[in-house]
Chains A and B, each alone.
Chain A
């Protein structure tokens, strides 16, 4: 009989494999410990050196910006780092008053119905040392609006309009529009200026700008560090360095403030916010149900009105949104040109709502057809509970609703044209932020019959919106306010829910007053150490 041990081989020591395993384990442990060496791979750990002496402003965001490309700065996650920090626009809008203020442009005027002239500032240099001229401004506008880069600012702010841009000399710029555009300077306040020669073929990940800070280091997945631009043309900001990190969990962001690991924390949930260390601010966001009026039973205006009457806005804002939001009656909050102060959020009236649904049913409207209420995960704190409350309130008036929670990409399929055709009656829970402060940015997207984010509309309202677009001043305010009221009465595509507020964590080590733009634009120069000393 053959032995399984080859002849001549030495007998294996007892417990050999186990010892070998343990030896390997020890080697592995040592290797792992060496590997770790108190530094995490991919972190290129540099420590948090600025924290101890207060010279580094530490900000914790909800997510890592996918890019710092200036022409994408209308995206919240990019804009909050880039805008007016790394790069700057020609003009800035005061978030509180709505007034436009000079920045890289010192003055502007309308020289014909379709032409605007801008004077540009002298003595400004980009981070790489090159001087800023009107040609750079012309290049940047052309790059963001007219190029094939498909920048978000082109879509959200310029809505695909083509501009003709020309630098008349080193300090003067002329912009011509195809149609009269009374709010062109406001639109241009969203275009961040980059130097000539910046790629027009591809978006840049780390830009060069004229802002008070430039990029020092971006460790993908870990942090972004900025340092103060010592050649900045304007006032010197208080902190020599800024460091952004991101944590997806609101409770961790709040804990970082409490623990002293961060000075500012974005987007806190109400349950995590400590009263002493957080500030609520109006973030210009409004939530509403957008009703697909092309599908029964939502194609009957009585059913759409009934939904508006069924919602207990005060109950939802008190119980679920921690009293931070305010019941809404229109898509824009106070402070936006076109806000209609006469429109008041109605109290819930389930009796009338039930009667309207019953009337529609009597006329043959299939009110028992299931409506899909689609909401987006993490769109705002307690979004799923809000959807459940809405489902219950609609159920009470005789409508059948099922909830579908979606991620951003899936939600976008319903939010933007072309919308899915076979989805049946959909009530989409939307959150609209009008950061530009003019109703035109809302109506063009949400109210026009063929608006990119609109299911349907009314031709007469479309005509009125087009007329209002060409107005300025008081006439513009009144025309848009009337359009919001007419939409509610004649179309009722929206069942409004609430004007939202954001919560910002602010440590006692720093001073900062958030405003309605803070969620999209956190100006570092507006943050100062608590002792007021410039570091």
Chain B
């Protein structure tokens, strides 16, 4: 497993580097932040001073080198917008997104395993068709629309939930999580159902049944274990999507997370914060990928056996 992990981490380093370099260069292609941060009357000296102070007057390779050196010392620079260090801002925002993604994904997995398994147990039954229809609908609903409808129905019309914000108890979590949940939940129900249908008709399940194993053991002990592998892979990808896709939810509900911070940084050409946010998100995504692979390897020993010693 150590070799597997080492190799997996090694292979993640290159894409990580590409992402960081890409964001660094692409951000600078969008234009200098000088116009956004200095007044109209700023003199050429003030512009030059601003550029020099933030290193924008240097050739891009020098800027990149400085950035890499800084990042190695965990110094990600200063926000042009707020004057705070970029690292501080990103670390403050990230846990809120992680909380949201983690809770959402765990609910999605638990719910999808239950409903997907039930639907697969009797294929084409009314329950199966209902579950399939609802999950397909859920997977197709735009999160933006769902969020606004949630606010109007549950916030305004029924007055059951707050429209937005983070102050309060468990109720503030409901709409953001429901919005984030709807797509992964729909997709996962489909995946679990499909995998379970295949598993339940596999020869080893028939064999288990013929040997008198209880239905509970057949479904959860034999079939679900095999169905978990594809579901887990998809769940991993969906989790990554959640972290990236938190932008909509965070913007609409005023959730103080990394998605909103990233969008604001792009619009404000706040390069240091954007780079730090992308780096942390990329590292997290690669870590998640590795975690998924480890889970995958734990569930299916063939995976780790393919890793060369």
Contact = CB atoms under 8 A, between A and B. Distances in A.
Given A15-B221, A252-B151, A409 B269 contact: yes
A55 interface: no
A220 B256 contact: yes
Most chain-B CB neighbours within 10 Å: which of A40, A47, A245? A40
Contact of B95 (A24, A41, A202, A252): A41
Contacts of B257: 42
B38 to A, nearest CB: 5
Contacts of B261: 221
Interface in A412-459: 412-413, 416, 445, 452-453
A52 interface: no
Interface string A218-243: 01111100000000000000000000
A209 to B, nearest CB: 19
A409 B168 CA distance: 36
A36 interface: yes
21 contacts: A25-B110, A35-B102, A40-B99, A40-B255, A40-B256, A42-B93, A43-B96, A45-B166, A150-B39, A150-B42, A153-B39, A155-B40, A160-B41, A203-B83, A219-B256, A247-B254, A251-B148, A252-B164, A408-B36, A408-B267, A409-B268
A222 B256 contact: yes
Contact of B298 (A21, A412, A413): A21
Interface string A242-258: 00011111011001101
B85 interface: no
B256 A416 contact: no
A409 B35 contact: yes
Interface in B282-309: 295, 298-299, 301, 305
Contacts of A33: 103
Contact of A156 (B39, B148, B155): B39
Contacts of B251: 248-249
Contacts of A38: 168-170, 173
Interface string A46-63: 111000000000000000
A10 interface: no
A21 B228 contact: yes
Interface in B178-229: 221, 224-225, 228
B245 interface: no
Nearest to A445: B40
Nearest to B260: A221
A323 to B, nearest CB: 24
A205 B79 CA distance: 12
Contacts of B111: none
A38 B50 CA distance: 43
Given A40-B255, A249-B148, A452-B41, 12 more contacts: A4-B301, A18-B224, A43-B166, A48-B168, A67-B81, A155-B41, A205-B82, A247-B253, A252-B252, A261-B165, A409-B33, A409-B267
Contact of B38 (A150, A246, A255, A259): A150
Interface in B96-117: 96, 98-99, 102-103, 106, 109-110
B230 interface: no
A261 B162 contact: yes
Specify the main secondary structure of chain B where it touches its partner: helix
Interface in A6-45: 14-15, 17-18, 20-21, 24-25, 28-29, 32-33, 35-36, 38-43, 45
A91 B55 CA distance: 39
Interface residues of A, number: 69
Interface string A152-167: 1111101110000000
A47 B106 contact: no
Contacts of B169: 38
A365 B195 CA distance: 67
A255 B155 contact: yes
Nearest to A223: B167
Contact of A256 (B163, B221, B268): B163
A20 B167 contact: no
Contacts of B42: 150, 155
B92 interface: yes
B103 A155 contact: no
A33 B49 CA distance: 48
A208 B105 CA distance: 45
Contact of B96 (A40, A153, A156, A258): A40
A63 to B, nearest CB: 8
Contact of A150 (B46, B93, B298): B46
A412 B35 contact: yes
Interface string A395-410: 0000000000001111
A410 B269 CA distance: 10
A148 interface: yes
A42 B256 contact: yes
Given A159-B41, A220-B82, A258 B148 contact: no
A32 B103 CA distance: 6
A246 B269 contact: no
Interface of B: 30-31, 33, 35-36, 38-43, 46, 49-50, 81-84, 89, 92-93, 95-96, 98-99, 102-103, 106, 109-110, 148, 151-152, 155-156, 159, 162-170, 172-173, 221, 224-225, 228, 232, 251-257, 260-261, 264, 267-269, 295, 298-299, 301, 305
A28 B106 contact: yes
A94 B211 CA distance: 90
A406 B202 CA distance: 56
Contacts of B155: 255, 259
A150 B33 CA distance: 14
Given A148-B49, A245-B165, A261-B162, A32 B254 contact: no
Contacts of B256: 40, 42-43, 219-222
Closest 6 A/B residue pairs (Cβ): A155-B39, A41-B95, A221-B256, A160-B41, A155-B41, A40-B166
A221 B31 contact: no
Given A154-B39, A409-B30, A409-B36, A18 B103 contact: no
Contacts of B43: 160
Interface in A196-216: 202-203, 205
A252 B99 contact: no
B33 A42 contact: no
Most chain-B CB neighbours within 10 Å: which of A42, A261, A407, A453? A42
B268 A4 contact: no
A18 B299 contact: yes
A410 B164 contact: no
A413 B35 contact: yes
B95 A410 contact: no
Contacts of A20: 298
A39 B31 CA distance: 39
Contacts of B167: 43, 45-48, 222-223
A48 B166 CA distance: 10
Contacts of B260: 221
A453 B254 CA distance: 34
A416 B40 contact: yes
A66 interface: yes
Nearest to B225: A18
A43 B162 CA distance: 16
